């Protein structure tokens, strides 16, 4: 089931990418598409809402990268939980959990010049879970868990100005098989919701500032 879902997401992403690229760039050469005149700098910040171990988790989400020809995005991202959450099956006094992730992102945007359009990002990164306690009770081992994160998604994007966009959408978080106390692959994987602002400016404009 999981393999079929991943295959479907990847197949849909590739088909949408090829279709949009063919229709929007049929009159452009491949070399001109990679001109610096078509390269933008992108920075974005937002929030992600998900569940981990049955607990609600809010995370700050930051991305820095480049956009080629308004279609292809490559970026680095950093994400960190803003609330100290307690998995539902943990009962140790004063226990709390923190989550963070860092890695890379590739994305493809269709109809980027329209006020309302869509983008399809895929993240691959490193995840980190760590439990700690505010109490003096040391009846459990304080340790941490490292994860592989693969997170495809789909977002609606609203162009507020030529340089500022509002995005909102959902992703699905996949991870490797693991067990970290009561947190497992099963209750780590799942849908997330994201919302945020993206700022984009041509490299040529930045060089002339």
pLDDT digits (tens, 9 = 90+) for 91-141: 777 888 999 999 999 999 999 999 999 999 999 999 999 988 776 555 555
Structural domain includes residue 19? no
Structural domain includes residue 25? no
Structural domain includes residue 156? yes
Distance CA(87)–CA(95), nearest Å, equals: 9
The predicted model scores a pTM of: 0.78
Structural domain includes residue 186? yes
Write down the pLDDT at residue 208. Answer: 63
Write down the pLDDT at residue 156. Answer: 97
Residue 38 gets which letter from DSSP?
A: G
Instruction: Find out whether 67 and 201 touch, Cβ atoms under 8 Å.
Output: no
Write down the pLDDT at residue 108. Answer: 97
Structural domain includes residue 100? yes
Instruction: Find out whether 53 and 97 touch, Cβ atoms under 8 Å.
Output: yes
Instruction: Find out whether 42 and 67 touch, Cβ atoms under 8 Å.
Output: yes
Single out the residue of 49, 3, 15 nearest to residue 171, CA to CA. 49
Structural domain includes residue 2? no
Structural domain includes residue 94? yes
Distance of alpha carbon 192 from the chain centroid: 9
Instruction: Find out whether 68 and 33 touch, Cβ atoms under 8 Å.
Output: yes
Q: How high is the mean pLDDT of the chain?
A: 84
Q: Which domain holds residue 129?
A: 35-207
Structural domain includes residue 7? no
Query: What long-range pairs does 134-138 form, CB within 8 A, spacing at least 24?
Result: 134/94, 134/96, 135/92, 135/93, 135/94, 135/95, 137/92, 137/93, 137/94
| CATH number for the domain harbouring residue 145 | 2.40.160.20
Write down the pLDDT at residue 91. Answer: 79
Per-residue pLDDT of the chain (209 residues; tens, 9 = 90+): 544 544 555 455 445 544 554 454 444 544 445 556 789 999 999 999 999 999 999 999 999 999 999 999 999 999 999 999 999 988 777 888 999 999 999 999 999 999 999 999 999 999 999 988 776 555 555 678 999 999 999 999 999 998 999 999 999 999 999 999 889 999 999 999 999 999 999 886 665 65
Per-residue CA distances from 139 to 3, 98, 130 (Å): 39, 19, 16
Into how many domains does the chain fold? 1
């Amino acid at each position: 089931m999981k393999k079929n879902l991943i295959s479907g997401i990847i197949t849909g992403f590739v088909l949408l990418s090829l279709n949009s690229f063919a229709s929007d760039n049929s009159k452009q050469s491949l070399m001109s598409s990679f001109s610096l005149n078509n390269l933008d700098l992108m920075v974005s910040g937002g929030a992600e809402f998900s569940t981990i171990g049955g607990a609600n988790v809010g995370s700050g989400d930051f991305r820095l990268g480049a956009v080629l020809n308004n279609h292809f995005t490559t970026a680095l991202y950093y994400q960190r939980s803003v609330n100290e959450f307690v998995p539902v099956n943990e009962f140790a006094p004063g226990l709390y959990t923190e989550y963070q992730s860092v890695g890379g992102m590739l994305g493809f945007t269709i109809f980027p010049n329209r006020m309302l359009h869509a983008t399809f990002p895929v993240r691959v990164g490193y995840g980190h879970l760590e439990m700690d306690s505010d109490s003096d009770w040391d009846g459990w081992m304080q340790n941490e868990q490292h994860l592989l994160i693969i997170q495809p998604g789909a977002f609606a994007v609203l162009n507020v100005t030529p340089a500022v966009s509002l995005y909102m959408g959902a992703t699905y978080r996949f991870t490797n098989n693991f067990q970290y106390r009561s947190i497992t692959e099963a209750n780590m994987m799942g849908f997330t919701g994201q919302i945020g602002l993206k700022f984009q400016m041509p490299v040529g404009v930045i060089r002339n500032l």
